[in-house]
Structure 1
């Protein structure tokens, strides 16, 4: 049980980073993309995007397909796509209470009133 908790914590931590979540949502929306395309869309450095893609790949969120000198990234599989879609629906339904969560606000170092 302890190992599973650790793995789940790491998996969800991968998705809790703003840049990694942005990459994930972008790939959900656009489909397969190169690092260069992701870099241009998110206006971040190529090394930063590559670093985050490596984490997402290790955690099973994205996969890579090599074609010559290019690497194409996409959402790992339909289960990941479903999980993100479910999370989006939960967030939409509970937006106000999520934004009012004092525990998370404290962990992120922001005031609850700033989020509303």
Structure 2
């Protein structure tokens, strides 16, 4: 059970970063994109986007395909896309509870202090 928990924790940790989650949602929405296209859409530097894409690739969340001199990034599998879609359904059903969770609000406050 412990290795599974560690892997789940790392998966959700990879997706919990705002930029990485934004990249994932953008790729789900638009399909294959270059680093340049992602950086323009998210208004972030190419080096920052490359760093986050490296993490997402290493975790198996996104894949890359070479097309001439371009690297095109996309969601790695239907399983990853389904995970995000299920999360979106959960948010739709429990948005108020998630946003109002006092424990998470306290943890966020503690981390920033």
Which residue of structure 2 aligns with residue 113 of structure 1?
none
Does residue 33 of the first structure (1) align with residue 33 of the second (2)? yes
Q: What does 1:65-104 align with in structure 2 at a 5 Å threshold?
A: 65-104=65-104
Residue 37 of structure 1 deviates from its aligned partner by 0.2
Which residue of structure 2 aligns with residue 114 of structure 1?
none
3-state DSSP of counterpart to 1:109: helix
* Worse-matched range after superposition: 49-58 or 99-108: 99-108
Which residue of structure 1 aligns with residue 19 of structure 2?
19
User: Aligned residue pairs: how many?
Assistant: 110
Report the TM-score when normalising by structure 1. Answer: 0.91
> Over aligned residue pairs, what C-alpha RMSD do you find?
1.1
Aligned partners of 1:99 and 1:28: how far apart in 2?
24
Runs of 4+ in structure 1 displaced over 4 angstroms? none
Report the TM-score when normalising by structure 2. Answer: 0.93
Instruction: Provide structure 1 residue ranges, at least 5 long, that are not aligned to the other structure.
Output: 111-116
Aligned partners of 2:64 and 2:104: how far apart in 1?
33
Instruction: Provide structure 2 residue ranges, at least 5 long, that are not aligned to the other structure.
Output: none
